[in-house]
């Protein structure tokens, strides 16, 4: 059942790659779109099958594969990964939808996207460390190609940078995984048979640091983030959506699953520093975004800022905070997707991304009014304005973390204020003002170009006013996870907590 999510896209990817070359791009796009739609529907079906009250792994699949390596094909889904899977298949569909009808080398493009999608699904589903790593590494080359073939001007540089950073990340993760298995003397890499309780604290912390840095590159956390602005900015809009919406979640998911859940004791020791790290990341992302002159760069740095909240919530590891962390992963995924899509549309129509050149796009007849309107909505959602999913996620994070780490939480609140600052700068310079009469002969935005943003906007608003649909899947799992983490840190500052 779960395997379909992995193998259907991958098999289709292989099939598309082998198609004869005379098939027009829009046909291939349509095929890929249909397939991605089927996967999305299948994913919704799985969501339907998912038992909300069961905190553990569900719908498990097991196949012995390579016993000597300890590698087995073991899949399962819980409250955290189910949402990530939905996000993945939704954003894959959106990314394919928002790709150009006349893209060059369509067979390679769409097969790579589907390959990535299958790989990401595999990583979220894997219950075997080595299997996870295989899928994790599967992203590497396709994304490198997607950036460096269909990207912007500096795509070669950005692609290489992405490749090297991610490869290092993979190496660190693999080393840590091997360390875990050898040191605990586990016979295989199966997730549920691992326990680090027997290891000394120093060893636990060392391994956890390996995990943190390995996945921290992927999230990314400062100072491991420098690949991100280049990769996001140079990637084309659909690829940026996948990079920011899905791949970044692989990092946070890894930290939650392999950091927090495997090393509860070490986690509770490192938690205070992690909380500060998260807060600093959030502030840093916001402040650097303020200084940017390129709207895509602003959105890219906003991503770094928003990932900081997730680390803070994970560090706090109260039940509420973890719900917030996962909710933030989902809402960041859809908000970033809408923003990247809109920025992509603005760039194709206007021909620039520079804040100093953009102006007056809200103008109803000659501008891009609907796109600007949605950009305002996306910016507000990202800044945490109530009524949209961004607020829900951030507020749960703050509420859950404040009692544990009040100062970092307040810093994150400040960061969220700064987010509003740079989004207002962006919106002010882009949507408001007046059009330049010498340049403002922009082509019109077709309906199909507006659709992805409209779908995402509806989702953002719906989850903002009906957040149960966002958190109901997560809660039992996170409650169960929190129970395993020592409550040491949670009582440190009770006098500072709000009643």
Partner 1 sequence: MVQTPDKPITKLPPSTHEFAEIIHRLEAGGSMLPDTPENLMQIIGIYKAYAVPMDFYWRDLLYIAERVFLNPLPFFKYFLPKEYLERHNHYAGDDADLRIWRGEATAHPELLAFMEKGETFKMPKLFHHLFHDRINMEFAEACMRAMLWHRHMYAPVNQFDAYLDSEEYKANADRAIKAYFQGNPVMLGLYKLFPDMFLEQCRQMSYYANLGLFWEVMAPVFFEMSDIYDEGGFKGVPDAMNFLVNGIFAIAGRPIYHHVYIRGECYEIIPKSKGFTWLYEAALPYVEAVFYRTAPFRGTKSYNAQVGQVPDKQEDFHYGILYADVFPVGTAGIPPTLLMQDMLHFLPSYLVEYYKKHCRGEDDMLIQLGISFQRSMYNVTSAVIQALRTALLYPLDDQNPKHLQANREFFEAQLNRFCRPEYGMRDAARLRQIQRQDYR
Kindly indicate which of the ranges 31-39, 160-168, 174-182, 360-368 contains the residues binding partner 1, using the contact rule CB under 8 A: 360-368
- Minimum Å distance from CB 437 to partner 1? 5
Token pair of 245, please?
């919406």
Of positions 64, 364, 417, 486, contacts partner 1 by CB under 8 A = 364
| Residue 432 or 462 having the CB closest to partner 1 | 432
Residue 208, helix vs strand vs coil: helix
Choose between 68 and 437: whose C-beta lies nearer to partner 1: 437
Q: Which is nearer to partner 1, 28 or 431 (CB)?
A: 431
Any bridge partners for residue 66, and if so which? 71
d(CA 330, CA 334): 7
Residue-by-residue DSSP string for 259-287: IITT-HHHHHHHHHHHHHHHHHHHHHHHH
The first and second tokens of residue 498, run together, are 């709000």
* 3-state secondary structure at position 440: coil
Q: Which stretch binds partner 1 (CB under 8 A): 15-23, 99-107, 317-325, 429-437?
A: 429-437
Q: CB-wise, 235 or 376, nearer to partner 1?
A: 376
Q: Which two tokens stand for residue 425?
A: 């700068």
- Which residue's CB is nearer to partner 1, number 202 or number 365? 365
Query: 287, 347, 366, 421: which one contacts partner 1 (CB under 8 A)?
Result: 366
- Ranges of beta strands (E only) in 272-431 are none
Q: Which two tokens stand for residue 283?
A: 């502030």
Closer to partner 1 by CB, 154 or 434: give it: 434
Work out which of 21, 153, 437, 495 binds partner 1, going by CB under 8 A: 437
Alpha-carbon distance of 148 to 158, in angstroms, equals 7
Phi, psi at 466, each rounded to 5°: -130, 65
Q: Shortest distance, CB of residue 442 to partner 1, whole angstroms?
A: 8
Nearest Cα residue to 132 out of 244, 236, 6:
6
Closest C-alpha to 360, from 432, 428, 295? 432
CB of 469 to partner 1, least distance (A): 36
Q: Give the one residue of 262, 310, 435, 463 binding partner 1; rule: CB under 8 A.
A: 435
Q: Among 18, 63, 202, 365, which residue interacts with partner 1 (rule: CB under 8 A)? A: 365
Residues 439-468 that bind partner 1 (CB under 8 A): 440-441, 443-444
64 binds partner 1 (CB under 8 A): no
Using the minimum distance from each CB to partner 1, give the nearer residue, 221 or 371.
371
Closest by alpha carbon to 176, among 258, 266, 67, 277? 258
- Kindly state the smallest distance separating residue 352's Cβ from partner 1, in Å: 18
What is d(CA 418, CA 492) in angstroms, rounded to the nearest whole number? 28
Q: Which of 72, 100, 176, 363 binds partner 1 (CB under 8 A)?
A: 363
Nearer to partner 1 among residue 24 and residue 364 (C-beta): 364
Contact (Cβ atoms closer than 8 angstroms) between residue 230 and residue 161: yes
- Catalog residues that contact partner 1 under the rule CB under 8 A: 360, 363-366, 434-435, 437, 440-441, 443-444
């Amino acid at each position: 059942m779960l395997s379909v999510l992995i193998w259907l896209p991958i098999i289709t990817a292989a099939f598309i790659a082998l198609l004869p070359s005379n098939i027009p791009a829009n046909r291939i796009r349509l095929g890929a779109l249909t397939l991605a739609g089927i996967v999305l529907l299948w994913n919704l079906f799985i969501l339907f099958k998912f038992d909300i009250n069961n905190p553990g792994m569900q719908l498990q699949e097991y196949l012995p594969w390579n016993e000597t390596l300890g590698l087995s094909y073991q899949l399962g889904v819980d409250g955290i990964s189910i949402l990530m899977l939905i996000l993945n298949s939704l954003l894959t569909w959106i990314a394919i939808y928002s790709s150009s009808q006349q893209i060059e080398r369509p067979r390679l493009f769409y097969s790579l996207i589907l390959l990535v999608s299958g790989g990401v699904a595999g990583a979220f589903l894997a219950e075997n460390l080595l299997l996870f790593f295989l899928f994790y590494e599967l992203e590497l080359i396709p994304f490198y190609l997607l950036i460096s073939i269909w990207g912007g001007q500096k795509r070669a540089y950005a692609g290489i940078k992405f490749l090297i950073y991610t490869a290092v990340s993979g190496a660190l993760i693999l080393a840590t995984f091997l360390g875990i298995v050898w040191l605990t003397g586990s016979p295989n890499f199966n997730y549920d048979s691992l326990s680090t309780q027997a290891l000394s604290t120093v060893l636990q912390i060392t391994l956890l640091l390996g995990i943190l840095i390995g996945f921290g590159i992927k999230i990314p956390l400062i100072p491991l983030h420098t690949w991100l602005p280049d990769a996001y900015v140079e990637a084309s809009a659909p690829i940026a959506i996948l990079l920011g919406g899905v791949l970044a979640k692989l990092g946070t998911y890894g930290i939650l699953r392999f950091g927090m859940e495997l090393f509860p004791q070490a986690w509770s020791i490192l938690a205070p520093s992690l909380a500060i790290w998260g807060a600093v990341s959030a502030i840093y992302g916001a402040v650097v975004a303020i200084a940017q002159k390129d709207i895509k760069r602003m959105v890219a740095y906003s991503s770094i800022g928003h990932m900081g909240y997730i680390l803070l919530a994970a560090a706090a590891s109260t039940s509420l905070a973890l719900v917030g962390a996962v909710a933030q992963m989902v809402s960041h995924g859809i908000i970033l997707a809408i923003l990247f899509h809109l920025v992509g549309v603005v760039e194709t129509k206007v021909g620039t991304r520079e804040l100093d050149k953009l102006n007056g796009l809200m103008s109803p007849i000659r501008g891009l009014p609907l796109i600007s309107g949605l950009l305002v909505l996306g910016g507000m959602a990202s800044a945490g304005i109530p009524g949209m999913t961004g607020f829900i996620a951030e507020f749960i994070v703050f509420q859950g973390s404040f009692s544990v780490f009040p100062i970092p939480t307040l810093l994150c609140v400040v960061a969220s204020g700064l987010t509003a600052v740079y989004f207002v700068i962006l919106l002010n310079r882009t949507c408001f003002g007046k059009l330049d009469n010498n340049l403002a002969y922009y082509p019109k935005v077709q309906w199909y170009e507006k659709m992805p943003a409209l779908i995402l906007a509806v989702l953002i608003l719906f989850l903002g006013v009906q957040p149960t649909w966002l958190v109901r899947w997560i809660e039992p799992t996170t409650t169960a996870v929190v129970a395993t983490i020592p409550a040491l840190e949670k009582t440190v500052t009770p006098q500072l907590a709000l009643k």
